[in-house]
Structure 1
């Protein structure tokens, strides 16, 4: 072969190699690439060549997320049913299904509840030993009845949104490896009396709706992190959580544990719905340590509530000992009635190291008129480790000044930090400090 022929051959091979570069990749890598595509797009690659015919079946991630691309829900349902039929039972790491409009599904498919389709696909994912299961529903609720029972030795993470659970007990004990549960984007627990999981370690509720007639009990003895944010209805009862490290709790300002008559924690009015409007099934006052008893083992707490919400102040009448608590963030609810709530918490937190108070303009009327500082409720003792208290505010007004005066009587340094007006004061990670600047400090 002449040098010219060799050169032409080498050039031809290089061009062919560039054209077919993706085909030289191993199957496992190609399957990984396909896993980033929506399921219907991954299936289309089967027409590329004989080699690609079955690659999509072995992808570890299956995402069914584009229901709005189909004019007919029946066609989409047919596609997904064929997809799971031909895919077989190869193992799945993640399965995600997103339903964009339940109302559209119900009208077009003639099905009164899209649950029936969704649950079949979920059962398929469990059969494939899925580890991460995600069900996202937008707009209307999907009603999850007794057919929603998860049984899996492999499931480790569960992400659910837009679901209405019609079960008295939401029991995840049949998933012994399940460690992460995220209830996000308005899940409804009106019918649920108890949520149970022995294995879960990280539990999140974002904008959940609980019953106004009974208090849902949460039993998660191995929980490490809890986030309960913007909950409606009655705040759930937290049972013992001895492994808890960190918790963020912020009931919605219009939840049913609201008393507009007093800031003391109990207005003593038998007709007040917030204070006396709910008794548990055993006939006991279910307001006794609804939250703080379950949170008492935590090392880090952020407790945020509106000024008329009574739940934390009511709990403090049976205040537990926070024997491990080192970091605490509170907003203005703790300064009501001459600071008795704050004093109570400080007295029951013997190893507290870090205290942050986030104060709004609603603080002054909560504190009340103070003629002399002998009327202030002071703790008998506070943690010897607590040397500095940070006060975050958007404006240094009279309420902030009164708070600083009280803290100064505890022999701690008070550091005032004024936040930018556009900054959200409350954050589980406290990531907003970069937008603030120090005003000064006092003792």
Structure 2
């Protein structure tokens, strides 16, 4: 009988509660913040363990059920409960914070405030990641742009008004390395304040932003992305240490000028052709001549071939280019794309892989292949991989005649192709 009791006592020992604090906190880090806080009811040992968490994750979806989504009053109650939870956790949070995550995906006609963000900043986080999709126009507390320990800041702010205005008197983020902003309106001196106040900034990512400034100049920036941003004038980009550039803007008609970018290794460019050709000194093809990986999507490509030799000088060589992804919008019969493909094959001696991305035309175009054209007098000896893919909204498939024409054209230009992939 005694042995049985001893055996039962051994089985009932709470071994998890006997673990060191650091290990318990590590276990809690795999849970959401809501689940971590709930562990305080397990035992006295767990009462304040969650307060030492280094990562806080707040997600509104954890406070909603499917029935809540169908009722405005219940959604507001959940919203209030969610905000009370955030304030309670931040009020009782101990020590410093490594990372703060916040996600809000709901439309509620109600006042909304991010005042709690000031409390987050006092915890000296290294990472702040905020995603907001809602109805209310937001006011971002200025204190978040004066967090001396912050290294990574991401704000996706989507409202019914489509844009959140950020006006700052001062930016002081000496440790910031990565900045990602979406759906914000930035004034004309934002870039100047940013690079003065963020001497360590290496990555800048702006999506769907209204940019009041027209100059991006930094001696330390390494990656830059401007994705469907609006700007008033010609955008000047001068970043001597930049290695990766991503620019997309099919609708914007204003120009892009690249200067002093000899370190550029990867470029992903999608522009209206009018943006590419400013003059010979600012010709974007010259500025991309050092890249090793390039993705190029051109809208209304036919415009460039009216004066192809003038716009793309024959002296340009892409001596480092190994991978090319070439997309052509509003082009079905490939006639205009031929010259560009031949140009890159001839002027890229290290090229190994090429992707031809043909988009469904926005207007009706003839389905029949065009008449045969001269392919030139040169042939490339070898290319490792050719991928032919067709893109576009809806079910659209390249006709066999066009596909055969493209393959024949490639074989005329290249003696041997290792792999041809079609999808």
With structure 1 as the length reference, what TM-score do the two structures score?
0.65
Deviation at 1:324, TM superposition (A): 0.7
Which runs of 5 or more structure 1 residues have no equivalent in the other structure?
252-256, 258-264, 266-273, 279-283, 420-443
CA spacing shift, 1:237–1:325, aligned 2, 3 Å: same
Question: 167, 176, 184: which one pairs with 1:163?
Answer: 184
Q: Equivalents in 1 of 2:304, 2:190: separation in Å?
A: 24
Is 2:266 the counterpart of 1:246?
A: yes
Partner of residue 345, structure 2: 346
Deviation at 1:166, TM superposition (A): 3.5
CA spacing shift, 1:312–1:130, aligned 2, 3 Å: farther
Moved more, 285-294 or 351-360: 285-294
Partner of residue 152, structure 1: 173
Query: Could you tell me whether the CA contact under 8 Å between 1:288 and 1:314 is conserved in 2?
Result: no
Q: Equivalents in 1 of 2:307, 2:172: separation in Å?
A: 39
CA spacing shift, 1:299–1:107, aligned 2, 3 Å: closer
State the Cα deviation string for residues 187-226 of structure 1 (Å, max 9, x = none): 3134242345544444445x53323x42434444333334
CA spacing shift, 1:85–1:139, aligned 2, 3 Å: same
CA spacing shift, 1:136–1:46, aligned 2, 3 Å: farther
Q: Equivalents in 1 of 2:285, 2:145: separation in Å?
A: 38
Partner of residue 437, structure 1: none
Is 2:235 the counterpart of 1:216?
A: yes
CA spacing shift, 1:241–1:403, aligned 2, 3 Å: same
Tell me the SS of whatever aligns to 2:263: coil
Tell me the SS of whatever aligns to 2:348: coil
Question: 318, 321, 328: which one pairs with 1:322?
Answer: 318
What are the equivalent positions in structure 2 for 1:249-264 lying under 5 Å apart?
Answer: 249-251=269-271, 257=272
Is 2:411 the counterpart of 1:418?
A: no
Question: 130, 136, 141: which one pairs with 2:156?
Answer: 136
Query: Could you tell me whether the CA contact under 8 Å between 1:226 and 1:248 is conserved in 2?
Result: yes
Partner of residue 292, structure 1: 285
Q: Equivalents in 2 of 1:56, 1:311: separation in Å?
A: 61
Partner of residue 355, structure 2: 356
Deviation at 1:347, TM superposition (A): 3.5
What are the equivalent positions in structure 2 for 1:56-67 lying under 5 Å apart?
Answer: 56-66=50-60
Query: Could you tell me whether the CA contact under 8 Å between 2:380 and 2:415 is conserved in 1?
Result: no
Q: Equivalents in 2 of 1:175, 1:315: separation in Å?
A: 41
Deviation at 1:377, TM superposition (A): 6.2
Partner of residue 191, structure 1: 212
Q: How many residues are paired up?
A: 373
Q: Which has the higher strand share?
A: 2
What are the equivalent positions in structure 2 for 1:62-211 lying under 5 Å apart?
Answer: 62-66=56-60, 71=76, 80-81=86-87, 83-87=89-93, 90-92=96-98, 94-101=99-106, 104=109, 106=111, 113-117=137-141, 119-120=142-143, 122=144, 126-127=147-148, 129-140=149-160, 141-147=162-168, 151-170=172-191, 171-172=194-195, 174-183=197-206, 186-204=207-225, 208-211=228-231
State the Cα deviation string for residues 357-416 of structure 1 (Å, max 9, x = none): 23456598699964x64xx363x7676664764544543544334433433333433565
Tell me the SS of whatever aligns to 2:267: strand
Q: Equivalents in 2 of 1:9, 1:295: separation in Å?
A: 76
CA spacing shift, 1:364–1:75, aligned 2, 3 Å: closer
Partner of residue 225, structure 1: 244
CA spacing shift, 1:8–1:361, aligned 2, 3 Å: closer
Which runs of 5 or more structure 2 residues have no equivalent in the other structure?
65-74, 116-134, 391-396
CA RMSD of aligned residues (A): 4.5
Is 2:15 the counterpart of 1:21?
A: yes
